[in-house]
């Protein structure tokens, strides 16, 4: 995930934090990308905070009839621990 910014010579993609990505997706009503970003951030966080993020994402994805939130997140945001 990144932010596209115009520079003097063109455009560059700047990385954003997981929290910033989730906030951005939520702000513009992209609830499904926010959910997989939330799930991926949860996988990187330890303890109850990470578990809560994963549970929130999974709950939303199940409401959208996604049978396997883990597989869905892996498809759209690969390269994270499962």
Are the beta carbons of 70 and 62 closer than 8 angstroms?
A: no
**Which residues are registered as beta bridge partners of 13?**
4
Q: CA-CA distances (angstroms) from residue 8 to 5, 11, 13, 27?
A: 10, 8, 13, 28
- Domain coordinates in residue numbering, the chain: 2-76
Taking 90 as the threshold, does the pLDDT of residue 57 lie above it? Answer: yes
pLDDT at 5 over 60: no
For all residues of the chain together, what is the average pLDDT?
Answer: 85
Q: What is the pTM of this model?
A: 0.79
pLDDT one-digit tens code per residue, 10-44: 665 556 788 888 888 899 999 999 999 999 999 98
């Amino acid at each position: 995930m990144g932010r596209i910014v115009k520079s003097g010579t063109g455009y560059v993609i700047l990385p954003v934090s997981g929290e910033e990505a989730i906030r951005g997706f939520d702000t513009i009503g992209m609830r499904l990308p926010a959910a997989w970003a939330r799930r991926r951030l949860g996988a990187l966080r330890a303890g109850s905070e990470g578990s809560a993020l994963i549970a929130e994402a999974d709950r939303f994805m199940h409401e959208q009839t996604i049978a396997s939130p883990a597989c869905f997140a892996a498809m759209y945001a690969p390269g994270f621990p499962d």
